[in-house]
Structure 1
Amino acid sequence: MGEQEPAAPERESGPWDADEPHPNTDRIDLGGLRLPHNPDFDVRLASVGDQHVGVVVIYQDSTLQLQALAAPRSSGLWDEVKTKIRTQAKDLEEREGPFGSELVGEIKAEGGPRPARYLGIDGPRWFLLGVISGQGAFDEAISAAFVEFMQDVVVVRGDEPMAREEPIPLRRPNDQTAETEEQRPGLNPFKRGPEISEIR
């Protein structure tokens, strides 16, 4: 019997849920998130203590922070998260963007105010928050590159019970057991893989 063809995606773009049909492209596997390969982007894991809680993607002089959180089955988190963000950063305005409602403006940062753009996507039992900061918050060319990156992210929620807004766990790409490494066909040990550093 031949292998079954993967089902065609039902939407034009993601972020994708791991269980829905999505384009089968080469991605960086970080456990809870699978990120598209883009040689122009520098991808780093953000950690609190020993736990990897998010990803920072650096492009030119701008950054995209990505964090996937567990969400209730019944409702999304974005409306609630938006309200929390606006109580902390009052100089943000709400507008429509590629993923629906988003927040744009300036936030207080070390060295003075910094442009920021908050994008939230409610998925099945997960919520993905993207924060573009720096020039990319207003520069259409840079922000378009970040949006395209987010549209090809795959969120792997898993079946484990998780608390509301608990970060979906991430891991470094090489933190896989030796057994799974041996089982992967066609793995070239001499080929350089994605280089992921950490931010604490």
Structure 2
Amino acid sequence: MGLFSRRKTTEPAQVEGLDALDREEAEGPDDPTGAAQDDTEGEAAGQEPEGRSAPGSEADAAARGEHLEAGPYDESEAPEEDRIDLGGLQVPTVDGMELRMEVDQRSGAVTGANLVIGGSSLQVQAFAAPKSRGLWEDVRSSLRDSVVKQGGTAETRPGVFGTELITRLPVKRADGRTAYRPARFIGVDGSRWFLRGILTGKALADPEQSRRFETLLSRLVVVRGTGAMAPQELIPLHLPGERPGLEQIRSAPLDPLARGPEITEVG
């Protein structure tokens, strides 16, 4: 196991659940290959519309790989394993993994966890969901629209957990040029909960690294609890306590959407 650190966030939108996606997640676009391209700011207008396949259909999901476990798990179904207790999430211990917690600076609330391995990061958050339906299709559509409005590109593709969203958002560099930040959004609808993962960094262009994070996501446990919660409400998290192999340190804030290859616009 690696290090534990706290990331302070200053925007309270991050503790308001999925309604904050326009401000929070749209800052993380993605090119899954990481290959350099010449892009124009008008690309988003030509983006093909997102499909509306039913969850679990052949068009909605790629074959579930043998590298995955049966999760992400609901607390009631999770197998025995040594995990780090974060309240609403339980994270398995992995050699070389660095756990960085996001803490809202104003409220002190823990808003997310970043699982960092080898220069890549998987940000995970869990939200309450209705009994009758999942949230990922609606969240994915809203996120896609937000990214496109900001001049980025967003497209869906089949993934091992179902339909994923691949985004790339333009950002201005210090030298005035435009770069693109890539990210891969993964959503899993569970039993009265929704788990969202944002993968950034080298893993976007490295299939082996990508599979490692997919395996890690499939081992997570969501602790929804029995209390009443509004749909899209963030399931509370807390900082882990001292335990072997988990050293608490302070470090510079981690922006999970700033990692990974940046593609600079030519011209």
Question: Normalised by the size of structure 1, how large is the TM-score?
Answer: 0.80
Q: Which runs of no fewer than 5 residues in structure 1 stay unpaired?
A: 1-10, 175-188
| Deviation per residue, 1:17-44 (Å, 9 max, x gap) | 0012x32110011111000101211111
Letter in 2 for 1:95: R
Q: Is the 8 A contact 1:43 1:58 kept in 2?
A: yes
Say if 2:73 is the partner of 1:16: yes
Q: Is the 8 A contact 2:69 2:218 kept in 1?
A: no
Matched ranges for 1:1-200 at <5 A: 12-20=69-77, 22-48=78-104, 49-90=107-148, 91-109=153-171, 111=173, 112-174=179-241, 192-195=244-247, 199=253
SS in 1 for 2:76: coil
Q: Distance in 2 between matches of 1:108 and 1:131?
A: 17
Letter in 2 for 1:14: G
Over the aligned positions, Cα root-mean-square deviation in angstroms equals 2.1
| Deviation per residue, 1:134-188 (Å, 9 max, x gap) | 22223211211111100000000001111111110011122xxxxxxxxxxxxxx
Q: Is the 8 A contact 2:189 2:195 kept in 1?
A: yes
Query: Among the aligned pairs, what percent are the same residue?
Result: 39
Tell me how far 1:60 sits from its aligned partner.
1.7
| Deviation per residue, 1:45-87 (Å, 9 max, x gap) | 1122311111111112221110100111111000011011101
Q: Distance in 2 between matches of 1:88 and 1:127?
A: 20
Q: Is the 8 A contact 1:45 1:196 kept in 2?
A: no
Number of residue-to-residue matches in the alignment: 174
The range that moved more, 129-138 or 29-38, is 129-138
Bigger relative contact order, structure 1 or 2 (CA pairs below 8 A, ≥6 apart): 2
Match of 2:19 in 1: none
Q: Is the 8 A contact 1:44 1:55 kept in 2?
A: yes
Tell me how far 1:196 sits from its aligned partner.
5.3
The range that moved more, 83-92 or 125-134, is 83-92
Q: Is the 8 A contact 1:45 1:197 kept in 2?
A: no
| Gap change, CA 1:45 and 1:12, over 3 Å in 2 | closer
Q: Is the 8 A contact 1:67 1:128 kept in 2?
A: yes
Structure 1's consecutive aligned runs of 4 or more residues displaced over 2 angstroms after TM superposition are 107-112, 191-200
Letter in 2 for 1:46: E
Q: Is the 8 A contact 1:32 1:170 kept in 2?
A: yes
Q: Is the 8 A contact 2:69 2:219 kept in 1?
A: no
Letter in 2 for 1:45: M
Q: Is the 8 A contact 1:43 1:196 kept in 2?
A: no
Match of 1:181 in 2: none
Tell me how far 1:194 sits from its aligned partner.
2.2
Tell me how far 1:130 sits from its aligned partner.
0.3
